[in-house]
A and B are shown apart, each in its own frame.
Chain A
Amino acid sequence: MFLKEKLERLLPLVQKPARYLGNEWNAVLKDHSSAAVRMVLAFPDLYEVGMSNLGLKILYEIVNAHPRMLLERVFAPAADMEALMRREGLPLFALESTRPVREFDIVGFSLQYELSYTNVLNMLDLAGIPLYSRDRGGGEPLVIGGGPCAFNPEPLAPFFDLFLLGDGEEALPEILQRWMALSREAPGDKEALLAGLAMVEGVYVPGFYRPIYGAGGDFQGMTTLHEAAPPVVRKRVVRNLEQAPHPLAPIVPHIEAVHDRGMVELFRGCSRGCRFCQAGIIYRPVRRRSPERVKQIAREMLRTTGYEELSLASLSSCDYPGIDALVGDLQAEHAAGNISFTLPSLRLDSFSVELAKQFHRGRRGSLTFAPEAGTERLRRVINKNINDADILAAVGDAAAAGWQSFKLYFMIGLPTEEEEDLRGIASLCEALMRRLREAGHRRIRLAASVATFVPKAHTPFQWEPQLPMPEVKRRQQLLQELFRPLRRIELSWHDAGNSFLEAVFARGDRRLAPLLERAWQRGCRFDGWSEHFSLQRWLDTFAEMGINPEDYAYRRLDEEAPLPWDHLHSGISKELLLREYRRARQESRP
């Protein structure tokens, strides 16, 4: 094939050419002529990042298991590859078949992170697909999106034909079935197609809604433009996770993915109620897989992939009832193969010595804990109810079990934060180190990672302003000074500008869409990657477009006013979020 030959000439010239091969173990190459619907799953980040995403693996197997459906993959090409593709006129292609993405029926973007939005536009452009939904006729691919950012996709609204809210394992096959039927009944009639798809539960067709703004530019609500559009779109929920399909033969990447291991999902949702956490809301309710099912999936996945490590994934795997026994059983069953089992994040408050010992047997890595805030007061505000004594005890137990490296996650800029809370971060780390040294543990490494609070849609803190950037930087400096005398403790923090941009888009509305396009035209890509991110380029774009980004990031939203994402229902009512928000403010009082 012509495209394939062109590609083969480019591969020797780029870094990590194996990103673009598509012939990994368990990759599925189906016959295009016998498929009734052909979709490409587009992940707007590098291959290594996208191939670590569980959702991609789930959908890949479900769709390809269907005899008449076909799903291939495409990732954002790295900057060197993009430059060559543009120079040589090579369109964005799907990995498995090396066919141009624009020849597919549906392009589905995985929207995991606000700072990947410019990559979405870049990929559409590289594919030769018109960016705006209104410019795409019935002959162009349908552009759809899902993932956490679909719960406030307004900054992307004009570019997409539809979004899917919530779990995809039942909804995506339904969308594809419906697409097959509708495109047979009324070929090329895009409006009929979208109207038909809007009836699928969880589907949001942004073109069927129009925001209303007041004279002062304030958002006053959404109006529906089509009878097929429900006033409120409710998210899709897979009721029975035990019986839901789980990837059994995921693709084994040739090159090292960010998470280079098998993943077994223990449960979906999180029973905790951290008030800043969007995942905790949008993945509700908690649905578990039984230990028997987990073991069966693990057995099958190890057989089909040959992975030497399996991760028992969820938002909070230590909360899985009977996690100790499950890990013990898995290790016993797979002892001969020296398989190690890991948890993506170990939570301080439910961490047991037994568990620490079990994991120690497998692989020596670092343990990650997330106290989030430096004082118990602030932890009450964010509803992360653990005290310093628990933290000290848990880390002490883990060190006694042989762990030597610990990571602690904190956040600054949380609502009601004061200097005392920052001092609390340093003093907690110091106390930990002292405790460990007193217990005779030398060679302990402690790393504190400090993120900046980003108010997210559909959380109790969605009304809160983000801390202004200069103040974020001042507090980062203060932390740096507080940590300077502390030996063997490493401090790192997130870029303030990055978090600022994330906050702008996390609570953004449709007026940001043209700005996004302009920023992409000015060269913004991979904004989550420090080597590509340029705050100045973004600020220049905001200035050019006459939009003040601070209006989005720094504003305390009116509790009574409609929000640009009110028509998208996460399953948790706004009243409940508001109640939690008010409770948080009560907690802040001494």
Chain B
Amino acid sequence: MTRIRFRFARGKELCYLSHLDMLRLFQRAMRRAALPLAFTQGFSPRPRFSLAAPLPVGATAAKEYGEVDLAEPLEPVSFLRRLGEQLPAGLALTGAVTVPPGAPSLAAEVNAALYHAFWREEGTAPPAEALQEALDRLLAQRQIMVRRPGRKGQAGEQDIRPFIFSAGLLPPGENGLALRLLLQVGSKGGLAPFRLLEQLLPEAKEPAEHLWRLHRQGLYIYRKETLAEPFPEGGGWKAHG
């Protein structure tokens, strides 16, 4: 059994696909590439494959990660070539490595996501100072209670403050008003960026999804105030290789 971890970018061509759509898309691309997939046991065997941290629908991304188990060894370079040929426009593989045995899985490692949020409609953006002020006020709170979609009662209330590692304005650039958000993701709880953006402008008449365009810069292992990529060149389990 060989585990391959791969990195990819997702462009606007495919930004409207859900996490489930993406899982289906990758699995079918892997089958087209005739990769020697390893399957789960049981009644309906499925490829042993996962994508790290669901990307919000509508967002683009620079560095996303997936992991797949193969029944036979395969050089990462041929994995890249074979799978790359079968991916539609809007998905670009940017790296693949063989995961050493015993290394933690992507899901166990990745715990932070860095987003850039851009104001969609030029000319309708709130003043940068006002936004900074709102941000400061929000981050100064020790608790930020929000209602989780689809849940009722006490269980529906959730404190999202612990999931915000940092949030700030990006220096003015060609993309206009923009925010930088470093948020927790993963099995220990996480925060969808739009939930935070809603809190930032609670008076907005439109849903945050309509106001902001999201780009995920990367997924990280966030430990002791440092960000490491879950990929050899950035640290991660390089020691194993």
Give the interface of A toward B (CB within 8 A): 8, 11-13, 16-18, 21, 23-25, 252, 254-256, 302-308, 337-338, 340, 363-364
Contacts and interface: CB of A to CB of B under 8 A. Distances in A.
Contact of B16 (A21, A340, A363): A21
Contacts of A304: 32
Contact of B28 (A18, A25, A340, A363): A25
Interface in B69-90: 86, 88-90
A303 B33 CA distance: 8
A308 B28 contact: yes
A8 B120 CA distance: 11
Nearest to A307: B28
A254 B44 contact: no
B32 A306 contact: yes
B32 A364 contact: no
Given A18-B21, A305-B28, A364 B43 contact: yes
B25 interface: yes
Given A308-B27, A308-B28, A364-B43, A25 B13 contact: no
A512 B152 CA distance: 50
Contact of A255 (B17, B34, B39, B58): B17
8 contacts: A12-B209, A12-B210, A17-B58, A21-B13, A23-B89, A256-B21, A306-B31, A364-B44
Interface string B82-121: 0000101110000000000000000000000000000010
A308 B21 contact: no
A304 B29 CA distance: 9
A340 B44 CA distance: 9
B31 A308 contact: yes
Contact of A338 (B17, B39, B58, B120): B39
Interface residues of B, number: 32
Given A12-B120, A18-B21, A306-B28, 12 more contacts: A12-B58, A16-B16, A23-B13, A23-B14, A23-B89, A24-B88, A25-B28, A254-B14, A254-B16, A254-B21, A256-B20, A363-B44
Given A306-B28, A308-B31, A17 B44 contact: no
Interface of B: 12-14, 16-18, 20-21, 24-25, 27-32, 34, 37, 39, 43-46, 58, 86, 88-90, 120, 209-210, 213
B69 to A, nearest CB: 14
A436 B137 CA distance: 65
Nearest first, the 6 A-B pairs at minimum CB distance are A306-B28, A306-B31, A306-B32, A17-B16, A338-B45, A18-B16
B70 to A, nearest CB: 13
A256 B46 CA distance: 17
B211 to A, nearest CB: 9
A23 B29 CA distance: 15
Contacts of A303: 32, 34
Nearest to B20: A256
A497 to B, nearest CB: 32
B121 to A, nearest CB: 9
B210 A23 contact: no
A340 B45 CA distance: 10
A306 B58 contact: no
B22 to A, nearest CB: 9
B215 to A, nearest CB: 14
A323 B27 CA distance: 29
Nearest to A364: B43
A291 to B, nearest CB: 23
Given A23-B89, A254-B21, A363-B44, A11 B16 contact: yes
A381 B1 CA distance: 60
A23 B31 contact: no
Contacts of A255: 17-18, 21
A60 B23 CA distance: 26
B32 A305 contact: yes
Given A254-B21, A255-B17, A363-B44, A23 B30 contact: no
B46 to A, nearest CB: 8
A311 to B, nearest CB: 16
A23 B44 contact: no
Contacts of A337: 31, 37
A305 B34 CA distance: 11
Nearest to B206: A13
Contacts of B28: 25, 252, 305-308
A473 to B, nearest CB: 35
Contacts of B90: 23
A13 B120 CA distance: 12
Which residue among B14, B24, B43, B90 has the maximum number of chain A CB atoms within 10 Å of its CB? B24
Which residue among A24, A338, A340 has the maximum number of chain B CB atoms within 10 Å of its CB? A338
Contacts of A254: 14, 16-17, 21, 25
A11 B34 CA distance: 34
A21 B88 CA distance: 13
Contacts of B30: 306
B39 A23 contact: no
Nearest to A8: B12
Contacts of B16: 11, 16-18, 21, 254
A532 to B, nearest CB: 23
Nearest to B87: A25
A12 B59 CA distance: 10
A269 B24 CA distance: 33
Contacts of A24: 88
Contacts of A12: 58, 120, 209-210, 213
A252 B213 CA distance: 27
B149 to A, nearest CB: 15
A305 B27 CA distance: 11
A303 B85 CA distance: 13
Nearest to B213: A12
A484 B37 CA distance: 48
Contacts of B46: 338
Contacts of B17: 18, 254-255
